[in-house]
Structure 1
Amino acid sequence: MNDKHRGAWYIVASAAGFATLGILIKSAFAGGANISTVLSGRFLLAAIFLFAILRARGVNCRLERKTAFQLILMGAVGYDGMSGLYANAIHYLPASLTSMLLYAYPALVTVLALIIGEERFNAPKGIALVVCSVGLVSLLGASFEGARLAGVLSGLGAAVIYSCYIIIGNRILKNIDPMVTSLWVCGAAGLASLCYGLIRGELVLDITPAGWLSIVGIAIFPTIFGVMGFFAGLRLIGATNASIISMLEPLITVLLSALLLGERITPLQGFGGAVLLFGGLILQLWGHEARHETVTEV
């Protein structure tokens, strides 16, 4: 398996991990948790698990001061900020519309990557982006009727922050172990969430066992697997391709909701899912040749 296919599978695995987030958060909320508690537990537990795994492997987690500072900013400002805005948007908007707004980020990443000269553009990338966007709209069936401005701005803000996060990550992470990267990002995001929750007095510890188990699941699947898989794929296929393939996440979420929660898949959602897969196929077959060959294996 060559690098481009291996990188694509990393992103698909990452999308599958992220796809469990909504279901697990819903379960954590049902167990008495709130946003501050979920975010703090999610990132701090993930950092602890990653540190234990890296120590067992004998991997040195230290980084150069400049790189460490960049990763801390990525975690505390980028990933934690994006997560907070996304959660705030959920309070004001339907989940489908919130997802639609967040998934403006593949287009933003494509534009930013072109502006800064990080990647070259080609027709298959453009076609894949348009096809996947059409599939996403069909899959989520979002409506702007009755949408509140605060929610729309939060959702778009999350997309902008995540786009910058991906572009920055693509530039500085090419020679760093994805697990080490994930440790620093999750640790910084967890500490930022913890400090915010303590200052606001929002941390909740009176949570049911099912709620705590859900938080542990959030730390493992959408955080360790999701973040680490994304960083691993990002190093191999670039920011634009990784962002477009990540649009499979809502499709996997819908499938998991049908399997685990018994939710019904409509014909329009089925059509949207098929279009998303077709867009991903276009990208895999024809969309890789325009990337600069700058990735260095560790």
Structure 2
Amino acid sequence: MTDQNRGAWFIVASAAGFATLGILIKFAFQGGANITTILAGRFLLAGAFLFCILRLNRTRLTVSRKTAVQLILMGAVGYGGMSGLYANSIHFLPASLTGMLLYTYPALVTVLAVLTGVEHFNLTKGAALLLCTGGLVLLLGASFDGVQLEGVLSALGAAVIYSCYILIGNRILKDLDPLVTSLYVCTAAGLAFLCYGAATGELIFRVTPSGWLAIVGIAVFPTIFGVIGFFAGLRLIGATNASIISTLEPLITVLLSAVLLGERISAMQGLGGATLLAGAVVLQLWGNGRRVTVNEA
């Protein structure tokens, strides 16, 4: 299997992990947790799990001071900021519209990657991006009822931060172990939410056992599997391809919601899912043009 194919499968696995986030958050809310508690628990538990795995494997955890600072900023400001803004947008917008606004990030990543000279653009990537965007519109069927400006700005802000996060990660992760990278990013994000929750009094510890189990699930599936898979794939296929393939996440979420929550999949959603898959296939088969390496950029 080529690096390109392995990278694509890593991103698909990552999307599957991230796809469980919304469902598990619903269970955590039902257990009495709030968003600050969920995010602090999510990242701190993931960091603890990763630390234990790396210590058992006797993996070296130290990185250069410059790299450590970059990874901490990626976690606390980048991933933490994106997660907080996305969660805030859910309070003001329909979930489908929030998802569509967040998933403007593949287009943003593509434009920024080309403008900064990180990657070359070609018509196949453009076609794949259009297919995936069209599929998202059909799949999510966004509602514009009750739209509030704060929610729109929060969702778009999350997309912008995540786009920058991906491009920065694409530059600094070339020679780093994805597990070590994820350890720094998750721990930094978790400590940021822990400090915020302690300062504002928003941490809640009276959560039901099912609520804590959901938080543990969030730490494992959308965080450890999702983040590690994304970092591993990002190193192999680049920011643009990784972000486009990641648009499969909403499709997997819809499928899981149908299986686990009994939600109905409409014909329009089925068409959207097929369109998304078509975009990913087009990108994988014909969009693997030459990437510009960091040294060349």
Same fold (TM over 0.5): yes
Partner Cα separation in structure 2 for residue 174 and residue 11 of structure 1: 16
CA positional deviation for 1:144: 2.0
Give the aligned residue type for 2:8: A
Q: Letter of the aligned partner of 2:108 in structure 1? A: L
The aligned amino acid for 1:6 is R
Kindly indicate whether residue 73 of structure 2 is the aligned counterpart of residue 76 of structure 1: no
Number of residue pairs aligned between Structure 1 and Structure 2:
295
Letter in 1 for 2:119: E
Query: Which stretch of structure 1 is more off in the superposition, 9-18 or 140-149?
Result: 140-149
- Identity, in percent, stands at 73
> Is residue 150 from structure 1 mapped to residue 179 from structure 2 by the alignment?
no
TM-score (norm 1): 0.98
Residue type at the aligned position of 1:33: A
Q: Determine the structure 2 residue equivalent to 1:6.
A: 6
Partner of 2:31: 31
Which letter maps to 1:137?
V
Counterpart-to-counterpart distance in 1, 2:25 and 2:285: 35
Residue in structure 1 matched with residue 184 of structure 2 by the alignment: 184
CA distance in 1, matches of 2:124, 2:234: 19
Spell out structure 1 runs of 4+ moving beyond 4 A. none
Tell me if the contact between 1:139 and 1:251 (Cα under 8 Å) persists in the aligned partners.
Answer: yes
1:122–1:290: 8 Å Cα contact kept in structure 2?
no
Matching residue of 2:121: 121
SS of corresponding position for 2:146: coil
Deviation at 1:294, TM superposition (A): 5.9
CA distance in 1, matches of 2:13, 2:82: 21
Report the counterpart of residue 100 of structure 1 in structure 2: 100
- C-alpha distance after superposition, 1:38-57 (max 9, x if no partner): 00000000000000000000
Indicate the residue corresponding to 1:228 in structure 2: 228
- Which one-letter code corresponds to 2:144 in the other structure? F
| Length-normalised TM-score, structure 2 | 0.98
Partner letter of residue 243 of structure 1? S
Give the structure 2 partner of residue 274 of structure 1. Answer: 274
The alpha carbon displacement at 1:293 in A equals 5.3
- Unpaired stretches in structure 1, ≥5 consecutive residues: none
CA shift, 1:290, in A, is: 3.2
Deviation at 1:145, TM superposition (A): 2.9
Measured in 2, the distance between the counterparts of 1:22 and 1:77 equals 22
- Tell me the secondary structure at the aligned position of residue 91 of structure 2: helix
| Alpha-carbon distance, 1:211 to partner | 0.2
Per-residue deviation, 1:143: 2.1
2:288 is aligned to 288
- Tell whether the 8 Å contact from 2:117 to 2:292 is kept in structure 1 after alignment: no
Aligned to 1:258: 258
Deviations 1:98-120 (A, max 9, x none): 00000000000001101110000
Q: 1:260 is aligned with what amino acid?
A: L
Deviations 1:219-246 (A, max 9, x none): 0000000000000000000000000000
1:130 aligns with 2:130: yes
